Amino acid sequence: MELLKALFLGFIQGATEFLPVSSSGHLVLGSHILGFQEHSIIFDVMLHLGTLVSVVLVFRKELLAMVYAPFQWLNGSRADDVRHYLFWDIYIVVATIPAVIVGFTFKDRIEHFFTSVFVVYLMLIITGSMMVLSRYAIDRNSKINGVRSFLIGCAQACAIMPGLSRSGSTIFVGMLLGVNRETVAKFSFIMSIPAILGAALLNLGEVIAHPPAADSLLNLAAGMVMSAITGYLAIVLLFEVIRKNRLPWFGYYCFAVAGIGLTTLAFTN
């Protein structure tokens, strides 16, 4: 039974990490509903590493180009694609700064929100509102630059709250800044890599202090593999949705989950 729960939560993580519906919020709700005892720090880390694998697979060509760009620049290459990916290296670093500050400064204060389904429902309403309003964002063909990458990074930092979608927040802010929706979506996914790695490093001490039991390794591995597979499919799906300007659909979904959840809380308390 615990294996099935691990697979289910892995599916939730992979499906919602990149879709604008909040993976952290759904994990809190899924664990609350299932009463999953192994939803621990190490389990969260493994699920996030699974989604890290998926984003690396989808954007492997862009990531390789970003890795090579600094070396090509140092070797004298000034080609447009080299400049493009070199600047994206810089912008990803800039966009990561707000999340680093929030992660180190407010981590302990925010952790208690992950035990509150009420907070999750409220944040889902905010996420839903952003997705519905995204249809009115005007594509001014603005380029990703230092200021815009920092503002998009601020949106990512705010999304540490459970129920506030990281991908939804960053894509929405980028669209408000006039960046093409597909461009900002790609930037959002790539900038998730240092964010995921950073979150894993922040929890590394606790993982070392409380290593997983041998009998839970299968559940951890199953959850990670499931999150990787569903994460890959979620990225492909979201790009199709973005091309068709259907982001408000996710907003209606968030409203529905929050509405049902708040109604249930009202009648059970």
Predicted confidence (pLDDT) per residue in 6-38, tens digit: 888 888 888 888 899 887 777 777 766 666 544
Contact yes or no for 238/18 (Cβ under 8 A): yes
Position 204 confidence tier, pLDDT thresholds 50, 70, 90: low
Helix axis angle, 41-58 to 60-74, nearest 10°? 70
Please identify which residue in the block is written with the tokens 């990225």: 235
pTM above 0.75, yes or no: yes
Question: Which domain, by its residues, includes 149?
Answer: 2-268
The model's pLDDT over 53-70, given as tens digits with 9 standing for 90+, comes to 999 999 999 999 999 999
Q: How many domains does the chain have?
A: 1
- Mean confidence (pLDDT) of the chain: 86
Q: How many residues does the chain have?
A: 269
Alpha carbons 196 and 128: distance in angstroms, whole number: 23
